Amino acid sequence: MSEKWDIYVDWNPWHGCTKVSAGCKYCYVYRQDEMYGSNVESSLVRKTAAFNLPIKHKRDKSYKIEPGKVVFTCFTSDFLLKDADEWRPECWDMIRERSDCWFYFFTKRIERFMDCVPADWGNGYENVLVGCTVENQQMADVRLPIFKSLPIKHKSIMVAPMLGPVNLEPYLDSTIEEVAVSGESGNDARPCNYDWILSVREQCISKNVPFRFHQTGAIFIKDGKTYRVKRQYQLSQAHKANIDFRIGKYFVPETVLFQWSDSDYHDSEPKK
């Protein structure tokens, strides 16, 4: 599987976040900071040494991040966080400069989106994918109507951590390029029921929207039985379920994949 992940790169221009809804209760940023013994509060947002990563060069003057990569942006914070308003314009400049890469961020603050975009955003940058995260029906009904109304070229919905059954059907159509679902990780994880996942899958199939079962989470209920799934198996167990719909070989949806050519990913092919 590892070669498939070679197309992804992490870029965390800042670190730390504040909790906004039920899905944040056991936030992995807080858990990781605790695990690594950080002496800075996780809620204190600070710029990182990787802030300029997308425009950093190698000795041969080429970019450190190669063209064609999918750059997971701000995964140890929220890209639309108010505390980062002063830094974000520089990030947009870098994203604009690197139109040869895809920048993918998820947010639980979609209501801030229009306050955060650059002046030339227009209908959206072609190389920016935005995922709206919802963890339950209440948040789906608050965030997704806003999300649907926004000028964004590539939209996905992330149901994570999935805390209950969710009906996404009113929000699914061809403007949604992917729905991904995940259970919660960590020692205090709340359970995720496979029936909820299968239900979202059925909703996606009925609307012909790509669906991906990303990870089981730590407490997984299937056929009435509760399983504790170790961290290292949470992704692989989800993939083993083999229930993805219209997801391509690089774990990206067909709708996005068709715009890429395999030649962009020569380094991600299995070594002969």
Q: Which residues bind ligand SF4 (CB under 6 A)?
A: 17, 19-20, 23-24, 27, 29, 77-78, 108
Which is closer to ligand SF4, CB of 86 or CB of 223?
A: 86
Which is closer to ligand SF4, CB of 24 or CB of 172?
A: 24
CB 54 within 8 A of CB 87: no
Q: CB of residue 127 vs ligand SF4: minimum separation in angstroms?
A: 23
Q: CB of residue 30 vs ligand SF4: minimum separation in angstroms?
A: 7
Q: CB of residue 232 vs ligand SF4: minimum separation in angstroms?
A: 21
Helix ranges (H only) for the chain are: 2-5, 28-35, 88-97, 113-116, 137-149, 194-207, 234-241, 254-257
Which is closer to ligand SF4, CB of 29 or CB of 152?
A: 29
Which is closer to ligand SF4, CB of 24 or CB of 101?
A: 24
Q: CB of residue 96 vs ligand SF4: minimum separation in angstroms?
A: 25
CB 112 within 8 A of CB 80: yes
Of 242, 248, 272, the closest CA to residue 261 belongs to 248
Determine whether 136 is exposed, middle or buried from the number of CB atoms within 10 Å of its CB (0-12, 13-18, 19+).
middle
